[in-house]
Structure 1
Amino acid sequence: MAKQSAVKLQTQNKTMYSILFIIGLTHLLNDSLQAVIPAMFPILERSLGLTFTQLGFITFTLNMVASVMQPVVGMYTDRRPMPYALPLGLLSSMFGMLGLAFAPNLPTILISVVLIGLGSAVFHPEGSRVAYLAAGNKRGLAQSIYQVGGNSGQALAPIITALVLVPMGQFGAIWFVLVAFIASMFLVYISRWYAGQIEVVKKATKKEKKSTETKQKQKLPKVIRNAVILLVFVVFVRSLYHSAISNYYAFYAIQNYGVSIAESQTFIFVFLLTGAIGTFIGGPLADRFGKKAVIMGSLLAPVPLTIILPYVGPLVALILIGIIGTLILSSFSVAVVYGQEMVPGKVGTMSGLIVGLAFGMGAVGSVFFGSLIDWIGLNPTMIIVSFLPLLGLLTVMLPSDEKLREINRELGHAGYVSE
C-alpha cells in the first residue's frame, strides 16, 4: 500500500518535461497541417475561382468536424483512454493533406478537410490528457507548453503561404504529407508512455476507484454549470475574432495597403506568432494573478486597439495586430486549465469543449463573415469584427479561482484542484 501511494504521489507531482516538449512539438506539427488550409485561401480563390462564402465554408467544414467530434472523443476517453488513437489521428490528417494537394474542385477539398478535421478531433483531447498526466503539480505551465505548440503551428501559415504555396501553388500541400507522417512517428513514442501511465494510475488507485467514481457522478452545482456555459461562450467569442483576422485580414491588407499575397502574410504571421507568445506567458500570469483575471484581461485589454485597427496605416496596423495577438490569446491555455478545474476528473471532456467546441465553433464566423464580405464589403465587415472583444465584459460573471476551490472542496474534489 505504501509503495502504491508513493507511485501515485510521484505520478502526480513529477513534471515530465521531455514528454511535454514532444507533445508540444507534435501539437505544432498537427496544427501546421490545419494552418495550410486558410493559408491556401488566396491561392484557391484565384486558381479555382472560389467566393469568400465558399472559402468560409471550407473553414466551417474543417472546424465543425473537429469541434463537434472533440467533446465526443473527450467524453469517451475520460472513460476509456485510447493512447494509440493519437498516431492514427495523424494518419487520417496525412491522407487529408494528400487529397488537398490534388483536389480539382470544392467537393474534393471538403472531403480532404473532413479527414484533417477527424485527425484533429482525435489528437486534441488525448494530447491535452498527455499534458495533464505529464504536468505533475505544474498544470498551468504544462498546458502552456502544449498549447503554445499548437499556436506556433498556426503561426506557420503565412510562412507556408510565402515559401511553399505561392511558388508551388496548391500542389505545395504535398510536403505536409511528410509532416503528418513525422508527427505520427513521434506520437507512437508518446502513446507508449501514455499507455504505461494509465497502467500505473490504475494500479495505484484501484482501491479508490469506487470512491472516485461516486464523486465524479455527483451533480454539478448550478453555479458551475452556468460558469461552464459562459466560459464556452467567451472562448467562442475570442475564436470569432481570431478566425476573422486569420482568414480575412490578408485580403484586407491587399485591398487597403496595396501589398502582394506574400507581403499580406506578414500581418497574419505577426498576429499568430504573438498569439503563441501570449499563450505561453498566460500560464505564469494566471499563477500570479488568477485564471479569471487573465481570461477577463485577455479580452478587455485589447478592445481599444481592435476598434482603431481598421482606421490606421500599414505600419501602425502591424504593431497593433502584434499587441492584440499577444493579449487576446494569453488566456488560451488558461481557459483550458480553468475549465478542467471547474469539472475535476473530466480532462478530455473539458478540453474537447473549450479547445474543440468553443474555439472550433469560431468557424461558424468564417461562413458568416465570408458571406458578410460578399454582401456589404470587406471594410465594413472588419469594422464590425473590431467590436467583438467587447463581449468579454461577460467574464465578470465567472466565479473566482478561490470560489472554484471552495466548491470543489465541498464536493470532495480538492485533490484535483491545483492550489
Structure 2
Amino acid sequence: MNTATTSQKTTKQSQEMTLRVLLIIGLCHLLNDSLQAVVPAMFPILEKTMSLSYTQLGMIAFTLNIVSSLLQPAVGFYTDKKPIPYALPIGLTSTLIGVTLLAIAPTYSIILCAVLLMGFGSAIFHPEGSRVAFMAGGQRRGLAQSIYQVGGNSGQALAPLITALILVPFGQKGALSFTPIAFLAVMLLLYIANWYAHKLVEFKPKTKAVQTHNKALTKKVSIALSIVLFIIFARSWYISCMTNFYSFYLIEQYGFPIKTAQLFLFAFLAAGAIGTFFGGPFADRFGRKNIILYSFILSAPLTILLPFVSSTIAFILLLIIGFIIMTSFSVTVIFAQELFPGKVGTMAGLTVGFAFGMGAVGSVALGAIADVMGIITMIKIVSFLPILGIIAIILPSDDLLKKWYA
C-alpha cells in the first residue's frame, strides 16, 4: 500500500509544473542565446574593421548555425536513449571559450574558429534544455516550452542593444564583457543538472512505454513532420534575413546610423520574444495547429507590405510582425514532440536545429543575393517567404493527433 501511495505521489509530482526550474532554465536560455547573439550583433563592426563582404558575414553566421543544426538532432537522439544531465554546463563552457576567443580574434579565420566553439555549445544546450522544460512542464507543456523558448528569443532580441550600447563604443573587444554572463550560466546549469539527474528516475518508465508504442507510427506522422520542417524553413529564412541583414537595409533605405537601425531590429526581436511566450499558452487553449497556421496567415500580408512604407510605419509593422510570426516558434517544437512521443530530445534537436540550419543556409544565400542584387531588392524578395507557411493548413488537427496515440 505504501508503494502504491508513493507511486501515485511520484506520478502527481511529474504532472505538476515546476515553475522554479522553468524560470532558471529559461534564464539560462536567455544567457546562452544572448551570447550567440553577440555574433550577428558584431556584423556591422566587423564589416567596417575587417572590410568583410555580405557573403563573408553570411559565412560567419553559417559556421555558427550549421554546427549547431547538424549536432542538435544527434545530441537529442543520443540523450533520448542515455540522458547526460551534466552536458548542459559542459556546453555552456564551450560557448564561454568561444565568446572569449571572438573578442580577441585578429583574423577572419580565427573568428570562424570562435563561432565554431559557440555553435558546439549551442548544439548541446538546446535539446537538453528543451528536455528539462518538458520534464518541468507537467501537463502544461505549451506554457513550459514558451517559458523556455522566450528566454532564448529574449537573448536574441538583445543583439541590437548589444551593438548599440557595447560593440559600437568598445568595438570587437567589447564582447569580453559577456564572459561573466557565460560563467553565471554555467553555475546555474550545474544546479539544473543536479535537478535533472534526480528527475530522470520519474521519467524512465514512461519513456520506455512510449518507445514501445512508437513502433506503430504511420506514414501520416512522417508527412506531418515534413510539413512542420518546411514551415520552420520558411520562418527561419525570414528571421535570418531580419536578424543578419535588416539593419543594413535600414541604413541604406532610410539613411539611419547603426544605433538607430539596431533599435528598430530590437523592436522586432523583442516583439518576437513576447509572441514566443504567448504562443504556448495560446496553443494550450486554441490548439497547436491553429496557432501555427494563423501565425503565417496573419503575418504574410504585413511582411510583404513592410519594404514599401515609411520608417515610422515600418517600426509599427515590425512590432506586429515580430509578435505574430513568432507565436509559432515554441508550438512547432511541441507539435513535433507530440508527433513522436518519447523522443523529446530528438524532436527538439531536429526542430530547433533545423531552424538554426536553415538560418545558416539562408545567411549565406541571402548574403550572396544582397551582394549581387542589392540589399533592398533582397529584402523585398524575402518578404514573400511567410506565404509558404500557409501549408500548415494540411497538418493533422490536435484531436486527430491524440487519436493516433490513443
Give matches, 1:216-365, under 5 Å. 216=214, 218-365=215-362
Give matches, 1:84-103, under 5 Å. 84-103=86-105
Give matches, 1:14-53, under 5 Å. 14-53=16-55
Distance 1:359 1:329 in 2: 15
Cα pair distance change 1:210/1:181, threshold 3 Å: closer
2:95 is matched by which residue type in structure 1?
S
Distance 1:212 1:363 in 2: 33
Q: 2:271·2:322 contact (CA, 8 Å) conserved in 1? A: yes
Report the Cα offset of residue 219 of structure 1. Answer: 4.5
Q: 1:62·1:114 contact (CA, 8 Å) conserved in 2? A: yes
Distance 1:339 1:8 in 2: 26
Q: 2:143·2:284 contact (CA, 8 Å) conserved in 1? A: no
Report the Cα offset of residue 17 of structure 1. Answer: 0.3
In the other structure, the counterpart of 1:175 is 177
Cα pair distance change 1:16/1:197, threshold 3 Å: same
Distance 1:214 1:87 in 2: 31
Distance 2:218 2:200 in 1: 29
Report the Cα offset of residue 236 of structure 1. Answer: 1.4
Q: CA-to-partner distance for each residue in 1:174-230, whole Å, 9 max, x for gaps?
A: 11111111100000000000001113444xx3xx776544224x0420100011111
In the other structure, the counterpart of 2:397 is 400
- Aligned-pair RMSD on alpha carbons? 1.2
Length, aligned pairs only? 404
Distance 2:53 2:9 in 1: 58
Distance 1:20 1:321 in 2: 29
Report the Cα offset of residue 73 of structure 1. Answer: 0.3
Given candidates 67, 72, 75, the residue that maps to 1:73 is 75
Cα pair distance change 1:375/1:131, threshold 3 Å: same
Distance 1:63 1:362 in 2: 7
Given candidates 47, 60, 64, the residue that maps to 1:58 is 60
Distance 2:100 2:129 in 1: 23
In the other structure, the counterpart of 1:115 is 117
Q: 2:271·2:320 contact (CA, 8 Å) conserved in 1? A: yes
Distance 1:156 1:142 in 2: 22
Given candidates 141, 157, 167, the residue that maps to 2:159 is 157
Report the Cα offset of residue 287 of structure 1. Answer: 1.9
1:407 is matched by which residue type in structure 2?
W
Q: 2:302·2:321 contact (CA, 8 Å) conserved in 1? A: yes
Q: CA-to-partner distance for each residue in 1:78-125, whole Å, 9 max, x for gaps?
A: 000010000000000000001100111111001000100000000000
Gaps of 5+ in 2: none
Q: TM-score, normalised to structure 2's length?
A: 0.97
Q: CA-to-partner distance for each residue in 1:307-366, whole Å, 9 max, x for gaps?
A: 111111111100001100000000111111111111000000010111112343222111
In the other structure, the counterpart of 2:198 is 196
Cα pair distance change 1:210/1:192, threshold 3 Å: closer
Cα pair distance change 1:199/1:210, threshold 3 Å: closer
Report the Cα offset of residue 41 of structure 1. Answer: 0.3
Cα pair distance change 1:280/1:212, threshold 3 Å: closer
1:6 is matched by which residue type in structure 2?
Q
1:126 is matched by which residue type in structure 2?
E
Q: 1:237·1:362 contact (CA, 8 Å) conserved in 2? A: no
Distance 1:193 1:129 in 2: 12
Cα pair distance change 1:64/1:311, threshold 3 Å: same
In the other structure, the counterpart of 1:12 is 14
Report the Cα offset of residue 11 of structure 1. Answer: 3.2
1:294 is matched by which residue type in structure 2?
I
Cα pair distance change 1:211/1:286, threshold 3 Å: closer
Cα pair distance change 1:149/1:394, threshold 3 Å: same
In the other structure, the counterpart of 1:416 is none
Distance 2:207 2:80 in 1: 14
Q: 1:148·1:280 contact (CA, 8 Å) conserved in 2? A: yes
1:214 is matched by which residue type in structure 2?
T
Report the Cα offset of residue 373 of structure 1. Answer: 0.5
| 3-state SS, counterpart of residue 171 of structure 2 | helix
Distance 1:284 1:248 in 2: 31
Q: 1:340·1:346 contact (CA, 8 Å) conserved in 2? A: yes
2:213 is matched by which residue type in structure 1?
K
Gaps of 5+ in 1: 410-419
Q: 1:152·1:272 contact (CA, 8 Å) conserved in 2? A: yes
Cα pair distance change 1:241/1:6, threshold 3 Å: same
Q: 1:233·1:358 contact (CA, 8 Å) conserved in 2? A: no
Q: 1:20·1:131 contact (CA, 8 Å) conserved in 2? A: yes
| 3-state SS, counterpart of residue 81 of structure 1 | coil
1:308 is matched by which residue type in structure 2?
L
